[in-house]
Amino acid sequence: MQGRWHVRALARVRNLRRIRMWSPNRERCAHTAGQLTEELGVEVVPVPDPVAAVGDADLVIAGTLSHTPVVPTAEVAAGATVVSVGSFAPDRHEVDQALLDRADRVVVDHVPTATGHAGPIMRAVAEGVLTEGDLTSLGEVLCGTRPGRRAPSDLVVYHSVGLGVQDAAAAAWVLSRHHAAKR
């Protein structure tokens, strides 16, 4: 379900040409890919495994409730952005420590929340892979006080646990744009 909504949202703000989608439930994945292709007019291709999904992708979205990593770190291309939205609890780990160690920048919603709730972030800090100072908050990137990407080849990982205040701010912005467009 997460993947479906992320594809819809991304299609509104990015010119997507082709999407590779993987799920352990192949039948549901194929059905969803067909629906999204028809709905969005973008080719959504179900693939047999995470390696085929990640490949040379510029953007990798992981929206699982997995307790074990599903993003194949070795396959993630230089310059990619990896977004992890499913590891919002201490026992969820859809990305591994090697990906966080390899990343040029790790961005989180809010540093204290991520270090207290996001499984991969908590583990990386506990094991010394990252320090709290290595983490960049999304607010810092959006306000321009810290960069998200410094070079085209940077691997950026964005790890979201979901913050209500950010959702409210995004909703307010969308509503303001909607009302402005109606004038």
Does residue 164 surpass a pLDDT of 80? no
Between CA 150 and CA 156 the distance in angstroms is 10
Q: pLDDT at residue 175 above 90?
A: no
Please report the pLDDT score of residue 32 as a whole number.
95
Give me the pLDDT at residue 1, please. Answer: 65
CATH of domain 59-167: 3.40.50.720
pLDDT category at 178 given cuts 50, 70, 90 is confident
Phi-psi region of 55 (alpha: psi -120 to 50; beta: other; left: phi over 0): left
Q: Given a cut of 90, is residue 141 above it in pLDDT? A: yes
Whole-prediction pTM: 0.89
Does residue 179 have a pLDDT over 90?
no
- The DSSP bridge pattern shows strands 156-159 and 105-108 to be parallel
Is the Cβ–Cβ distance between 135 and 114 less than 8 Å?
yes
pLDDT in tens, 85-121: 988 888 999 999 999 999 999 999 999 999 999 999 9
